[in-house]
Amino acid sequence: MMKILVTGGAGYIGSHTLIEIINAGFEPVVYDNLSNSSPVAIERVEQIVGQNINFIKGDILDKELLRKVFAEHTFFAVIHFAGLKAVGESVSKPLKYYQNNVIGTINVLEVMKEFGVKNFIFSSSATVYGNPRSLPIYESFERSCTNPYGQSKLMIEYVLEDVCRAQVDFNAISLRYFNPIGADESGTIGEDPSDIPNNLMPYISQVAVGRLEKLSVFGDDYDTIDGTGVRDYIHVVDLAKGHLKALEYLANHKQTGFLPINLGTGHGTSVLQLVNAFIKTTGQKVPYVIAPRRVGDIASCYANADKAKTLLGWVAQYDIERMCIDTWRWQSNNPNGYN
Ligand code: NAD
Ligand code: WQD
């Protein structure tokens, strides 16, 4: 069985990915400092897959512990989810983000090098495209960022490109996620923001469950179908399957170099379209008000996802309705998340 180090595996996307790779016969070792996740997520995944998971509570800033883990296990690849992701916080605490995300990733890469591990799958983001010159967004578009979080993702991509150039047998697939929402169909794992949600879908579902009073729609005067912001929402289970496809690609290709790949559906949905789909599929009330634009937001963002299809054989399967139903199953069964 191929062992995979999954940093950040207790988090939202990591926990869903564990299910896919375990069911496909890979053996994950999860390494997470639980700074933004709960150990209960791992227990729930164990229940879903019916087996125990090797979990290590550890920080990617702790290079000695990383070395110990690499000495104990022979990894085929690292799937690197660990990172901080709150855009607003990154603006007020840039050093925290560069330290954790950039230095942390360099630590992982250094220890991989010491132990001869050559396959890396990175959680990149559509944020590296900044404000795209046209839509849909192709992987070849130029990159730019407007906040330290995005900048940390971009810097890591540059590091990976250089490492791949310097070491020809090092492979790095940079998966650029669009907007992940939804949850496993069991309703036992899902997104559980530790604070008031920054992102739209967890905000909607917390309003619906009564934890928050009303949604603020940030701007209704964009040049979009109804004036509200358009994004490419993708079901987290589709995203998880994309990681499995990337692992399988690495298992079948000796030399990929730096490979950036969009994981999106290729379709844009506006804020109000998502709110209305949620109301319609769940029967819940979601009161909202129109508020000013949020600083740093762009009007529209959606992927061209052809590269993932051609190279990985991956296409997103789930539609917006399913994303809403699955989000609500998780939120209504777990009104306070994992607590
Ligand atoms: P998440 O916060 O749920 O998961 C990240 C995990 O990393 C958490 O469990 C956290 O405890 C862990 N972690 C953070 N710093 C760590 C450190 N120093 N050492 C060890 N573990 C650490 O977030 P997520 O939504 O699952 O995102 C996973 C990755 O995907 C992140 O790198 C994020 O930037 C990236 N990403 C997320 C989105 C999104 O909208 N959710 C979009 C694009 C990219
Ligand atoms: C979506 C739309 C908002 C909240 C962010 C990061 C990005 C990536 C994914 C990690 C926008 C609107 C939101 C609310 C609203 N993360 N909105 N009211 O901004 O596309 O991307 O998460 O890599 O880097 O920037 O996602 O969910 O915050 O916003 O009207 O309370 O919903 O204006 O149009 P975004 P989001």
Which CATH number fits the domain that encloses residue 82?
Answer: 3.40.50.720
Is 192 a domain residue?
no
Q: What is the pLDDT of residue 128?
A: 98
Contacts of 316 (CB under 8 A, 6+ apart): 234, 235, 238, 263, 264, 265, 266, 305
Q: Is 203 considered catalytic here?
A: no
pLDDT at 144: 96
By alpha-carbon position, which residue is closest to atom 27 of ligand 2? 199
Task: Answer whether residue 193 is part of any domain.
Answer: no
The total number of structural domains that make up the chain: 2
| 115 and 132 together in one domain | yes
DSSP 173: E
Catalytic residue among 129, 149, 203, 302: 149
**pLDDT for the residue 30:** 99
Q: Is residue 134 part of a domain?
A: yes
Question: Which residue's C-alpha comes closest to atom 10 of ligand 1?
Answer: 36
In this prediction, the residues of the chain whose per-residue pLDDT falls under 70 are none
What is the tens place of the pLDDT at every residue in 296-309?
999 999 999 999 99
Whether 37 maps to a domain, the answer reads yes
Q: Taking CB atoms and a 6 Å cutoff, what residues make up the pocket around ligand 2? A: 85, 87, 125, 127, 150, 179, 198-200, 203, 215-218, 229, 231, 271, 294, 297
Give 315: exposed, middle or buried? Use CB within 10 Å, 0-12, 13-18, 19+.
Answer: middle
Cα separation, 145 vs 301, in Å, equals: 14
Q: What was the pLDDT predicted at 282?
A: 98
Q: How far is the CA of 24 from the centre of ligand 1 (A)?
A: 23
Domain check: are 70 and 121 in the same one? yes
Determine the structural domain holding residue 38 and report its residue range.
3-183+233-265+308-312
- Cα end-to-end distance, the chain, whole Å: 34
User: CB of 6 within 8 A of CB of 28?
Assistant: yes
175 plus 41 within the same structural domain: yes
Cα-to-centroid distance, 198 and ligand 2 (Å): 7
Edge-to-edge order in the sheet of strand 300-301: 269-270, 230-231, 300-301
The structure tokens 């994309």 sit at 242
- What separation in Å is there between the alpha carbon of 43 and the centre of ligand 2? 29
